Structure 1
Amino acid sequence: MAKTSSVEKNNRRRKLVDQSAAKRKALKATIMDKSLPIEERFRAQLKLAAMPRNSSRTRIRNRCEITGRPRAYYRKLKMSRIALRELGSLGAIPGLVKSSW
């Protein structure tokens, strides 16, 4: 089980990313627009740099929904390999058959 503080920190980051996604997208579009004057693009770049770092999508860490484990994460199932194996052995995941020989 992962530290609760790490899981909560990641959840706060997700919330902050959702809140500031539209503003970041608009600023990035302004920065990339070559038809605008350089001063305006530079001001947009400064505004983007002044935003909180945790509002960037790249700061989010994929974590298991069940245990909070950050490694060996399956994106399709949103869980780690260990949680997947446990639930697969219990038959809780439809279509998953644990092989044994």
Structure 2
Amino acid sequence: MAKKSMIAKNEQRKVIVERYAEKRLELKKALVNPESTPAEREAARLGLQKLPRNASPVRVRNRDAVDGRPRGILTKFGVSRVRFRDMAHRGELPGITKSSW
């Protein structure tokens, strides 16, 4: 089980990313737009720098939905590899069966 403070911090980051997503997208478009002037690009770059660090989606960590484990996450299911194995053995994941050959 991950520390509750780390889980809470990650949840707060998700909220901040969502809050600033539209503004970040506009600034990023201004940076890559070939028709924008160098002054506009500079303004967009400075605008991006003024946003909070946690507004960047890269800073959000994928965590296990059940216990918050930060590594080995299977994105399709939202749980860690360890939790996935346990849930699959107990039959809690529909359509998942243990393979044998």
TM-score scaled to structure 2, two decimals?
0.92
DSSP-derived class of the 2:58 partner: helix
Distance 2:28 2:73 in 1: 30
Distance 1:66 1:98 in 2: 21
Shift of residue 18, structure 1, vs aligned partner? 0.8
The aligned counterpart of 1:90 is 90
Shift of residue 31, structure 1, vs aligned partner? 1.3
Distance 1:33 1:94 in 2: 46
Shift of residue 40, structure 1, vs aligned partner? 1.6
Give the % identical residues.
Answer: 40
DSSP-derived class of the 2:86 partner: helix
Q: What amino acid sits opposite 2:31 in the alignment?
A: I
Unmatched segments (≥5 aa) in structure 2: none
TM-score scaled to structure 1, two decimals?
0.92
Unmatched segments (≥5 aa) in structure 1: none
Shift of residue 99, structure 1, vs aligned partner? 5.1
1:1-101 paired onto structure 2 within 5 Å: 1-98=1-98
Structure 1 vs Structure 2 CA RMSD: 1.6
* Cα displacement string for residues 12-38 of structure 1 (whole angstroms, at most 9, x for unaligned residues): 111111111110000011111222221
